[in-house]
Homo-oligomer: A and B are copies of this chain.
Amino acid sequence: MNQPSISSSSPSTRGPADHDIRDQIVAAANEHFSQYGYSKTTVSDLAKAIGFSKAYIYKFFDSKQAIGEAICANCLAEIVAAVEQAINVEGLSPTERFRRLVKTVIATGVNLFFNDRKLYDIAAFAASESWPSTQAYDAQIKSFVSQIVREGREIGEFERKTPLDETVEAIHLALRPFVNPLLLQYNLDFVEEAPTLTSNLILRSLMP
């Protein structure tokens, strides 16, 4: 077995190098899952593929799900990063920011579905089981929505009569078919028209 020298350290004395090993396991698992799928891969398969012992992997991750969680978190973080980049451009109006949010979340999700189907399947499975990574992703998208709505209200671009929480919750619910990886796969027929139709409807609902 190709065991790194750090293998003798106990979990209580983990140093920064442990992060590298975790990353190494995640990267290898990512590749393995991408090829064979999450559900069909066991920790033994992973151990064999990476060249670590199963026991060694269990020093860093409690379960296969924990590895899946790390992969899923990375993958959803990419969507969040893409959205963040698209909306945080100086000088954009809240309306334009919102359109970009919807467009980007759909485009990156669809891209993941078509170009990294096995990883997409992990994210969809994670969403179906409400893994913490998908809850965090959901919360981040919602916080983007909340930011945009608050900004739009402040400058008088959006109405202020509806309680902010209700507005944000309702928008989040309306975007769920495209934000949630489990649902997106059933809405692929609508991803061409949805960014415009759904954004327009929501923006009309926000008019002062």
A174 CB–B CB distance under 8 Å: yes
Give the nearest-CB partner of A128 in chain B. Answer: B186
A6 CB–B CB distance under 8 Å: no
User: Shortest beta-carbon distance, A103 to chain B, in Å?
Assistant: 15
Contact of B207 with A170 in the complex, beta carbons under 8 Å: no
A198 CB–B CB distance under 8 Å: yes
**Interface range on chain A: under 10, 10 to 19, 20 to 34, or 35 or more?**
20 to 34
Contact of B183 with A201 in the complex, beta carbons under 8 Å: no
A166 CB–B CB distance under 8 Å: yes
User: Shortest beta-carbon distance, A174 to chain B, in Å?
Assistant: 5
Stretch at the interface among A89-97, A140-148, A187-195: A187-195
Q: Enumerate chain B residues within 8 angstroms of A207, measured Cβ to Cβ.
A: 207
Contact of B176 with A174 in the complex, beta carbons under 8 Å: no
Pick from B183, B194, B200: contact of A166, CB below 8 A.
Answer: B200
Query: Which A residues contact B (CB, under 8 angstroms)?
Result: 128, 159, 162, 166-167, 169-171, 173-174, 176-177, 180, 182-183, 186-187, 190, 193-194, 197-198, 200-202, 204-207
List of 10 A-B pairs having minimum Cβ-Cβ separation, nearest first: A205-B205, A204-B205, A170-B201, A170-B197, A201-B205, A174-B174, A177-B177, A173-B197, A169-B197, A183-B186
Q: List 23 A-B contacts (CB under 8 A).
A: A159-B204, A162-B204, A166-B200, A169-B197, A170-B197, A170-B198, A170-B200, A171-B201, A173-B190, A173-B193, A174-B174, A174-B198, A176-B187, A176-B190, A177-B183, A180-B186, A183-B183, A183-B187, A201-B205, A204-B204, A204-B206, A205-B205, A207-B207
